[in-house]
Structure 1
Amino acid sequence: MSAKPEQHLKVGDWWYLPQQDKLVKIDDTGEISETASLDNLCQKALNYFLVNAGRLVTRDELLSDVWGVRDVSDGRISRVIRVLRVALGDDSREPRYIETIPKRGFRFIAPVAEVILTSGNDEPVDNHIEEQHAIQQQERKHHRHWWLLAGTFLSCVLAISGWQYWQQSQLDPQVPFGRFEPLSSMDGLELYPDVSKDGRYLVYSHSLDFDSDSELIIQDLKSLEKKQIKVSSKGGIRGPIWSPDGNSIVYQYLQRNSFCEIRRLTLNAADKSVLADDLLTKCGAKSMGARMSWSPDGKYIVYPDWRTGTDGIALMLLPVNGGLAEQITMPPQTSLGDFAARYSPDGSKIVFLRDAAGSAGQIWVLDLTSRSSRLVYQPDDNYPAHVAWTVDGSGIIFPSGTNTLSLIDLKSNAVSIVAHTDASPHDVFVGTDNRIFSSIGRFWQSSIRKVNNVLENPVPSLETIDFATRTEGLIELNPQPGGPAAVLSNRSGNQQVWLYYPDGRQKQISRFSGQMYPKVLEFSPDGEKLLVLVNATIWLLQPDQEPISITTPEQYGREPTWGADSKTIYYKLSHNGRWQIMRKELTSENAEVFSDTLDYYLESPDQAYVLRSSIGDDSYELVMVNSGEVIQLDNFPKMDFLSPRIILRKKAIYYSSSSNNTDVKIYRFNLASKKTESTGVEQKLLGRRFFVSLDEKFIFQDDGKKGDVDIAELILTR
């Protein structure tokens, strides 16, 4: 069956990384300059060629050992070969990598040699694979844990540039490199780590995915033994925290839009079994997963709460032994709220994250004596997932990039990198013994599936779109048949936008610097232009043209959409603590205020109608352009933490919805009958994107699989 190389290889102009199962190119500084982005099937075919380099591989072999069948058409084999040639920069007329042997098969003709990584400043040594078998075995033992770190940027660089020991890389040699050693290593998602004050026990929540049952786990950090102490249906356990004395755990019990509770588990000091599970207080049903903190004196809990009648999250201070919760922060209306709160070691301050316009994360500190708060730092190129205090309370540690942890010195406000890491940290926590813990891994692996819309197309169809899923994140399909798809990929080291054409061509059209995290990709109706939201800045991207910034870094933009003419852009802009919808003609230098009363505005591609929503009203209005008729849409998904996915087409408006937070389906509002209809297409998660073809015959949904997130400890290696 299909084989995979288990050693580092030099493959023509490329390098093969076994831990990441990728081909990459390395520049003169030792940095990754390009990644060959291949889907799973193409990567399996390439791996088969690598382990069989130099010999004829027949089509029957490929069918048997790569596909595992014998009835796949030659057309599919040809497609894989074509994709490989495009990715490698090969030419079938003058091949340097894959030679076609007519009527027989293919031969991989590029030189393939193992690379031995040596310490110090030695150069890499190329040797024939067979001559290095023993060294290969040592390499496999040495890297036996690295598979857990697949897909991360710095582990790629470390594997390739080991012989340089980072001296030729762009990383500051004075900054330590940290390796995350997984502690939990369970299947699925381990989240919200917290460590007892004595450093002995770890607590976290675990579920197979966001929609499955969840459990609360206590793990002994000495023996690594795990103990399940609480089980909840439908992923309801969030944000557990230890009491200072280690005898209690407070957690959030949440079924979003149904109920929210803050509960306390009283534990047996000897074996950590549960003696009682008591309700401390109710919280808003619209609340998100909580990241809470317990005051060092054991008297108070600080937790985020979506307050009834508000549009955002505020921090609440709750007396543990009885009393009413007190609201201690007041985020602006343009903020989604305050969250991820942590008490300082002496209990005098609270650090927390404040969302800015739904696109940027600000780090704030609240002084509990004066009740005054101040903005400490707003990262320009990332949205921190969490914050943690240093043990002495003099600084704040936070994830500052895909593979970095940084420190804010509260005396000088200086920000510096604490460590470069081999995985992307999410929830960061610093124990009293200076040990650093975090959740690491991927939450979701995308896979686009094309199905027929039974309301318009009764012919059954089920097809997986051939997009690579190893380095890809956000994907937006082109509304025009034959147009390229837009894909957010980190194949070149940081996040960039690429166009994937039906003929296999791929083109990078963005030039973002630093660790950028685009949140929106939106094609114009004509399929020729693309809007991208990066942090809080809106960009216009077009093939073979320089990117254009629609908003400035000082502004907070959100939710960009296209006018029906593909020449007009609408977007939300924060102004004096409130949202305005702006309108910009591409031929004009300046934008104008379109509305300061609307919260949502979207034009149909055929210019026949508009969907809108007013500020303070979570329902929608459908306005017919020619007649002026206004139709109230009361059963649509509500405006929430983020705007719902809604797609406007000629015959209907499509959206995803769930009546019980579990059964997520794609529905449509039929414009002719004025009735809601189910397409029958089910979604795995409510927040996943989907797309509808212009003729409405097909629905494209993200039918990917769950990721894997582990709790890990950061081990500094230099």
Structure 2
Amino acid sequence: MQTPSDVRRLLAFGVFEANIATRQLFRRGEVVHLQDHPFRVLTMLLERPGELITREELRHRLWPEHTFVDFDEGLNTAVKKLRCALDDSADDPRFIETVPRHGYRFIAAVHPVEDSSVDPADGHTRSSSSGRLQTSDGHDQLARSGALVELPPPVLRLRSSRRRTALTVAVVCVLIAAVGLVYLHRIRQPERPMHFSITLPSQTRDLALSGDGRMLAFIAPLPQDGGNALWVDEVGAPGAHVLDHTEGASFPFWSPDNKSIAFFADGKLKRINAGGGPVQIICDAPIGRGGTWNKNGVIVFARDSGVSISRVSAAGGPVTLVDGFDQKIATTMSSRWPLFLPDGNHFLYTSVDFGTDLQSDASAIYLAALDSKRRRPLVSSSSNAAYVPPGYLLFFRNKTLMAQRFDADTLRLAGDAFAVANDVEYLSSVARALFSSSRTGSLVYQTGAGTTFSQLAWFDRDGRQLSTLGTPARLAKALSGRTPGRG
């Protein structure tokens, strides 16, 4: 039996090589991004190929004594990330076999190889210290930290930094595969990702990706006047621009033809052409909390922070409640963030209980329909949801963006949920995570701490600011004896 001391520095299996010393995983000479816990699991499996590695052994290796952690969830997430990196499947494994209720076994052949700085097979030069790969044609590829989960092409990741005034969107474009997600369908030779970045003018407060994945609408401060407005950025084009007459905008969403954007401002639901122009008022929406627009010109939206969901024509007109929803007051429950599924009849929405801990199971994502009063819970979550073709439900839970198989025809979930991204920005005041997807399978999300900086200030009776108190600090929670309110 092999022991850890017998393991050489570089181990090969299939098209992969694992450098145990530098904690790097390579696929045909290129770095595969893998976080610490998944790599530790891989190391233990490679140390004893063909043998059962128990969950208890993994727990002792991954977490020291007296560590308080949800071990089962943590280990399951680590194994899922590892399988994702290896393009492996629990149902039809090539590398990692699950032994139910016991642990895991590495079933592929493992052999040590000479650790050379140059791999003659693929012409790559490895540099463990820099984390870069240099191809034979002289091009560098940066090995980013963390696990890269390949979702449908292209995948956009919007990263936020509070220390800088600009934001960078890290975009991972994967060529379209006929069978959908690369990892989820276990394509043996996935297309090579391409990375590029664009710069946004300021920190975003919300974002919405167009259905074709080419345009990003987002809410951000105006450069000089202050206050928020609606901005549009064409992916790959130079620079974002603000749409005039959209001051105070919030929670934008796109028309199905990608030509118009609806948003909330001044207690109204409004719309504007994506290229700019006059703003049209659709209807009243005192405290708008999200909307969605189907191909028949019907908009379903949350007009306030209550439990009702309403509908209206995109051209304007009377507002009616969707069947099965009532207007109630004096409750901590709130229905918000509706999202149409591909059939244009069924939609998702989130029912949030602001009277409980938002991390509890009291809030959930529900399935509803325009032609039925029936509503059915799908998954527990206190945030918005998204649907990604060819069939995945995205939702936010425990500071992590999750995905689970979802059949849009049968309206049923299948399999286990798995992690897509960590540290996604979450606005607890309104129970919304900053991510969005397109019909083409693109995903964009913003990372961050989910808090804002606030400062106490004195104002006179006319609303003029007189002075400030102290220095800006993070706003956590207002302490009062009132029933918890809704954002």
> Partner of 1:136 in structure 2?
129
Structure 2 partner of 1:346: 343
Aligned-pair CA distance for 1:135: 4.9
1:296 partner amino acid: K
Aligned to 1:244: 256
Which residue of structure 1 lines up, in the alignment, with residue 312 of structure 2?
318
Q: Quote the offset at 1:251 in angstroms.
A: 1.0
Q: 1:656 to 1:352 in 2, by over 3 A?
A: farther
The answer on whether the counterparts of 2:404 and 2:413 sit within 8 Å (CA) in structure 1 is: no
Q: Which residue of 1 aligns with 2:326?
A: 330
2:416 matches 1:402: no
Aligned residues: 319
- Is 1:228 the equivalent of 2:225? no
- Quote the Cα distance in structure 1 between the aligned partners of 2:458 and 2:424: 31
- The CA deviation string for residues 651-683 of structure 1, in whole angstroms up to 9 with x for no partner, is xxxx999899x9999xxxxxxxxxxxx994576
Q: Is 1:305 matched with 2:303?
A: yes
Does the CA contact (< 8 Å) of 1:175 and 1:418 recur in 2? no
Return the alpha-carbon distance in structure 2 between the equivalents of residues 313 and 659 of structure 1. 36
Counterpart mapping for 1:462-477 below 5 A: none
Q: Aligned ranges for residues 413-424 of structure 1 at < 5 Å?
A: 413-417=413-417, 419-421=419-421, 423-424=423-424
The CA deviation at 1:198 is 3.4
Which residue is equivalent to 1:362?
364
Whether the 8 Å contact between 1:296 and 1:343 is mirrored in structure 2 is: no
Paired AA for residue 323 in structure 1: G
In 1, are the aligned partners of 2:255 and 2:293 still within 8 Å (CA)?
yes
In 1, Cα distance between the equivalents of 2:197 and 2:293? Answer: 24
Distance 1:121 1:202 in 2: 47
Query: What is the alpha-carbon distance in structure 1 between the residues aligned to residue 468 and residue 218 of structure 2?
Result: 38
Alpha-carbon distance change, 344 to 354 in structure 1, aligned in 2, over 3 angstroms: same
Query: Residue in 2 aligned with 1:291?
Result: 290
AA partner of residue 326 (structure 2): M
Are the equivalent residues in 2 in contact too, given 1:217–1:227 (CA < 8 A)?
Answer: yes
Larger Rg: 1
Q: Which amino acid in 2 is paired with 1:217?
A: W
1:427 to 405, 429, 434: 434
Residues 399-449 of structure 1 show CA distances to partners (whole Å, capped at 9, x for unaligned) of 3443442225354443523554365373343322222233333333789x9
Partner of 1:314, secondary structure, is coil
Give the whole-Å Cα distance in 1 for the aligned partners of 2:434 and 2:242: 21
1:442 aligns with 2:458: no
Match of 1:20 in 2: none
Partner SS for 1:414: strand
Structure 1: which 5+ residue stretches go unaligned?
Answer: 1-9, 12-22, 35-119, 126-131, 152-171, 254-258, 450-654, 666-677, 692-718
2:268 is the alignment partner of 1:261: yes
In the aligned structure 2, how far is the partner of 1:240 from the partner of 1:251?
4
1:278 to 277, 280, 292: 280
Q: After superposition, where does 1:394-543 map in structure 2 within 5 Å?
A: 396-407=393-404, 409=406, 411=410, 412-417=412-417, 419-421=419-421, 423-424=423-424, 426-444=433-451
1:192 partnered with 2:206:
yes
Residue 219 of structure 2: SS of its match in structure 1?
Answer: strand
CA deviation after TM superposition for structure 1 residue 335, in Å: 3.7
1:375, CA displacement in angstroms? 1.9
Matching residue's letter, 1:421: A
What is the identity, as a one-letter code, of the residue corresponding to 1:297? N
Q: What whole-Å deviation, never above 9, does each CA across 1:542-566 have from its counterpart, x for those lacking one?
A: xxxxxxxxxxxxxxxxxxxxxxxxx
Please report how far the alpha carbon of residue 138 of structure 1 lies from its aligned counterpart in structure 2 after TM superposition: 5.3
In structure 2, the partner of 1:576 is none
- Specify which structure has the bigger relative contact order, considering alpha-carbon pairs within 8 angstroms and separated by 6 or more residues: 1
3-state SS, counterpart of residue 295 of structure 2: coil
In structure 1, which of residues 364, 371, 377 is the aligned counterpart of residue 379 of structure 2?
377
Two-structure CA RMSD over aligned residues (Å) = 5.2
Give the SS at the match of 1:340.
strand
Cα distance in 2, alignment partners of residues 225 and 680 from structure 1: 37
- Is the Cα contact below 8 Å between 2:282 and 2:317 reproduced in 1? no
The answer to whether the Cα contact below 8 Å between 1:331 and 1:354 also exists between their aligned partners in 2 is no
Matched residues, percent identical? 13
3-state DSSP class of the match of 2:290?
coil
1:121 and 1:327, CA in 2 relative to 1: closer, same or farther beyond 3 A? farther
* C-alpha distance 353-184 of structure 1, shift in aligned 2 (>3 A): farther
Amino acid corresponding to residue 139 of structure 1 in structure 2 = R
Is the contact made by 2:160 and 2:446 (CA closer than 8 Å) also made in structure 1? no
What is the identity, as a one-letter code, of the residue corresponding to 2:369? Answer: D
In the TM superposition, residue 27 of structure 1 has moved relative to its aligned partner by 6.7
Q: Measure, in 1, the Cα distance between the counterparts of 2:469 and 2:312.
A: 45
Q: Would you say the 8 A contact 2:458–2:468 is kept in 1?
A: no
The Cα of 1:182 is off from its aligned counterpart by 7.9
CA distance in 2 between counterparts of 1:400 and 1:180 reads 28
1:15-26 to 2 correspondences below 5 Å: none
Distance 2:196 2:220 in 1: 14
Q: Name the CA distance, whole Å, in 2 between partners of 1:361 and 1:121.
A: 49
